[in-house]
Amino acid sequence: MTIHIGAEPGQIAETVLMPGDPYRAKWAAETFLEGAELVNEVRGMLGFTGTWRGHRVTIQGSGMGMPSLSIYANELIRDYGARTLIRIGSCGAMQSHVKIRDVILAMSASSISTPSLGFFREVNFAPTADFGLLHGAFQAAEARGVTTHTGGIYSADVFYAERPDLDEAMERHGILAVEMEAAELYTVAARHGCRALAVLTVSDHLKTHEALPAEDREKSFGDMVEIALEAAFG
């Protein structure tokens, strides 16, 4: 057991999917895993372990933002032996050709700062996805006929941003979408020699101000979970 994860030794799988919302972790575990068991509920951050096509998988909520995700990613890797961590979450599109319900595979994740910034001092570390996972996710999405975009995203420090100049700069440099966790996940995974990827569903659009209705989210997020699982074990 750790400070933030109450699982016993052996209860966490080597492959972990990490949605921000603990209730999305519960939904994904009940929907996609066989024999899913609750292994963590410390601070309400639910985690479940079960099997998918015979492979052991843990689905653990990470909370919102890089500081929260960093806590769970570090403990999962250092204390429970996780080796593959895949973020499954929502994002806001920043390019006109990216549409609501599309899936984004984050090849890289830019940021202003992350909890790991102090490690690098003057170095601008470039957090990137594991290529094997990225390639597997792309193949899985193509096979499912899901409209997918692969490229750079932006991991923000704040949800309610008031920097239109920054949004314009990100858009101009081809950033596909904004979310709040991937840059730190990629950095922590790199530090420990693990694999990481972010598979994201576009739930809203910064340019058109469209938003995915709540009743439509489950099917779209389902595609994202399946892509992540197939990438991990394909």
113 annotated to bind ligand: no
Q: Reduced to 3 states, what is the DSSP secondary structure of residue 202?
A: strand
- At 76, the amino acid letter reads L
Question: Residue 165 burial (CB < 10 Å; 0-12/13-18/19+)?
Answer: exposed
21 annotated to bind ligand: no
220 annotated to bind ligand: no
50 annotated to bind ligand: no
Half-sphere exposure of 134 (CA within 13 A, CB side): 15
54 annotated to bind ligand: no
217 annotated to bind ligand: no
83 annotated to bind ligand: no
89 annotated to bind ligand: yes
Q: Which among 6, 13, 62, 3 is positioned nearest to 33, based on CA atoms? A: 13
Task: Quote the CA–CA distance of 25 and 170 in Å, as a whole number.
Answer: 30
Residues 155, 194 contacting (CB under 8 angstroms): no
Q: Which among 216, 234, 220 is positioned nearest to 88, based on CA atoms? A: 220
209 annotated to bind ligand: no
The catalytic site residues sit at 204
Residues 39, 58 contacting (CB under 8 angstroms): yes
87 annotated to bind ligand: yes
Sign of CA dihedral 174, 179, 180, 183: negative
Q: Which among 118, 191, 111 is positioned nearest to 152, based on CA atoms? A: 111
216 annotated to bind ligand: no
56 annotated to bind ligand: no
Q: Which among 30, 25, 57 is positioned nearest to 44, based on CA atoms? A: 25
For the annotated binding site for a purine D-ribonucleoside, the residues are 4, 179-181, 203-204
For the annotated binding site for phosphate, the residues are 20, 24, 43, 87-90
For the annotated binding site, the residues are 4, 20, 24, 43, 87-90, 179-181, 203-204
